[in-house]
Amino acid sequence: MLHATLSGDIFLKSRRTQPRMIKRARANIAAALQDAGHSGRHQRVSGHRLAIDAEAVDEVLLTDRLTRVFGVSAVETVAAIPAPDLDTIVSGATEIAGSRVAGRTFAVRPKRQGTHGWRSQELANRLGDELRARGGTVDLDAPDVTVRVTVINDTAYVVDAHVAGPAGLPIGTQDTVLTLLSGGFDSVVATWMMMSRGSTPEIVHFTLNCAQSDHALAVAHELHGRWGYGAEPVVHLVEFQPIKEALLADVDAKMRQVALKVLMAQAAAAVADEERILALVTGDSLGQVSSQTLPHLAAVSRSVETPILRPLVGLPKETIIDMARRIGTAEMSARAREVCDLSEGGPVATAAREAAIRRSVGDVPGVLMRDAVSSRKTFLLRDWMPGVSTTADQSAFA
């Protein structure tokens, strides 16, 4: 049997909000179970704990899926023991855990819910004595084995394996955001972080001759396949090659990178406004490249009315890459090509005045921006196929 423990974030909410959060978490858990070939049935055994009968599905596979559901803090493989009294619990737990602690250090970590004639510390002491008799040595600070026993009313659960989940909030409990996704490390990790806070991401990707749109969507598809239980992402492909050509033709080389950043934000804001999405998300990290200095980030933010969320703004690149490894997209993102360098090898502005940025952006004809937004291709990410959806007709989605 498996137990999925819901995130503490859920239970920080008001009593009026918690039921909605729990309902959404359970729906997302059911989707993850079904993805593993399970019927999706699960039972709530306490306020924050759900029991899942593995049926005929491998418990390792189920654990893998469940630990990629936002709102799940841990998944445990447990054995149930009837708990009419302390003696029965100690005896049963000793038989289950005795062989695991022989010749090793251990610590007993009990939890208890309900009314009992004994305290959790009594269970820890009694079980610890029995496990020492089986050859274990107590070490409360850094044990080789942690024996977890959770007693809920008249049943005790001895944990055989404990795997941490992502915690956070269930996807779908917060409003949709529009994430500017290139397929590199930063934008993918930023998207994952917003998913972990309960938001469903819609994706906007800007196609350029030097960019790999199919690769970017493949990374997005991988991200959603791993972590997107509860989400149904929509993709907006915006053709930006004409804007790039206008920048090359009419804008000073040192201003092109920040101007491109502003124009992408403005196009994304126009998409968000049409789709009634409240905020944009970017993978900006302060000072990482010339377009991400504080003056330039401030100029980008002021160029649009839509709020821009930057969950990575204070993180170093090494931390972002480590997170991508945990997420499972690092290898794919490492193969992503960066947006074209428009500087032609010369120096680029790092602290351009806002007026200069506005003038550079103004050199790009407004009709190009309007055409780029109005002609975008829009489709569900799950319908994407390499080389097919990138040319899909927007009307097919409408």
- β 145-152/155-164 pair status: antiparallel
Do 258 and 377 fall within a single domain? yes
**Of the candidates 75, 30, 57, which has an alpha carbon nearest to the alpha carbon of residue 170?**
30
The answer to the question of residue 169 being in a domain is no
**Is 172 domain-assigned?**
no
pLDDT value of position 310: 97
CA neighbor of 28 nearest in space, from 76, 75, 73, 70: 70
Q: pLDDT tens-digit profile of 16-69?
A: 999 999 999 999 999 999 999 999 889 998 889 999 998 888 999 999 999 999
Q: How far apart are CA 91 and CA 324, in angstroms?
A: 44
The reply to whether 336 and 219 lie within a common domain is yes
Pairing type for strands 72-82 and 2-6 reads: antiparallel
- pLDDT for 344 equals 66
Are 288 and 348 part of one and the same domain?
yes
What would the pLDDT profile of 187-242 be if each residue is shown by its tens digit? 999 999 999 999 999 999 999 866 578 889 999 999 999 999 999 999 999 999 99
Between 24 and 348, the more confident residue is: 24
Q: Does the pTM of the predicted model rise above 0.85?
A: yes
Question: Are 134 and 204 in a shared domain?
Answer: no
Residue 279 zone, left/alpha/beta (φ > 0; ψ -120 to 50; rest): beta
Residues 19 and 100 in one domain: yes
**Residue 290: which pLDDT band, with cuts at 50, 70 and 90?**
confident
What's the whole-number average pLDDT of the chain? 91
Position 345 scores a pLDDT of 66
User: Is 171 within a domain?
Assistant: no
Q: How many CB atoms lie within 10 A of CB 51?
A: 19
Residue at a domain's end among 129, 164, 199 = 164
Task: Tokens for 259, please give them.
Answer: 């101007």
Residues 119 and 207 in one domain: no
Q: How confident is the model at residue 391 (pLDDT cuts 50, 70, 90)?
A: very low
**Residue 130 pLDDT exceeds 60:** yes
pLDDT band at 289 (very low <50, low <70, confident <90, very high): confident
pLDDT band at 388 (very low <50, low <70, confident <90, very high): low
Tell me what the mean pLDDT of segment 357-379 comes to.
Answer: 94
Assess whether 370 and 247 both reside in one domain.
yes
- Strands 280-281 and 177-180 come out as parallel
DSSP structure class, residue 15: T
Q: Are residues 259 and 346 in the same domain?
A: yes
**Banded model confidence at residue 385, pLDDT cuts 50, 70, 90:** confident
139 and 218 in a single domain? The answer is no
Is 132 within the bounds of a domain? yes
CATH of the domain at 241: 3.40.50.620
**Helix, strand and coil in the chain, % to nearest 5:** 45, 20, 35
CA-to-CA dists, residue 298 to 174, 304, 322, 370, angstroms:
26, 11, 27, 24
Q: How confident is the model at residue 395 (pLDDT cuts 50, 70, 90)?
A: very low
- Residue 390: inside a domain: yes
Q: How confident is the model at residue 336 (pLDDT cuts 50, 70, 90)?
A: confident
Measured in degrees and rounded to the nearest 5, phi and psi for residue 116 equal -140, 160
Q: Are 231 and 172 in contact (CB under 8 A)?
A: yes
Among residues 134, 164, 194, the one where a domain terminates is: 164
**51 vs 46: CA distance, rounded Å:** 9
Predicted local distance difference test score (pLDDT) of residue 335: 84
Could you please report the per-residue DSSP string of 203-241? EEEEE-TTS-HHHHHHHHHHHHHHH-TT---EEEEEE-H
pLDDT band per the 50, 70, 90 thresholds, residue 346: confident
What's the pLDDT at 40? Answer: 87
Residue with tokens 């997107």: 228
The pLDDT value given to residue 56: 84
DSSP string, 276-340: T---EE----TTSSGGGSHHHHHHHHHT-SS-EE-TTTT--HHHHHHHHHHHT-HHHHTTPPPSP
User: Which segment of 135-139, 209-213, 280-284 scores lowest on mean pLDDT?
Assistant: 209-213
The CATH number covering residue 80 comes to 3.30.2130.30
* Residue 339, pLDDT above cutoff 60: no
Range of the domain at 304: 177-397
Which pLDDT score, from 0 to 100, does residue 212 have? Answer: 76
Q: Are residues 84 and 148 in the same domain?
A: yes
Query: What are 67-120's pLDDT values in tens digits?
Result: 999 999 999 999 999 888 999 999 999 999 999 999 999 999 999 999 999 999
| pLDDT for residue 396 | 31
Q: Does 271 have pLDDT greater than 70?
A: yes
Do 251 and 280 lie in one domain? The reply is yes
In a domain, residue 290? The reply is yes
DSSP string across 371-388: HHHHT-EEEEGGG--TTT
Structurally, the chain folds into a number of domains equal to 2
Phi, psi of 107 (to 5 degrees): -140, 140
| CA pair distance 398, 264, nearest whole angstrom | 23
- For residues 239 and 369, membership in a common domain is answered with yes
Residue where one domain finishes, among candidates 133, 164, 195:
164
**Cα separation, 299 vs 355, whole angstroms:** 9
Residue 291, pLDDT score: 86
51: enclosing H helix or E strand: strand 49-52
Residue whose tokens read 């990290």: 285
Residue 392 has pLDDT above 90, yes or no: no
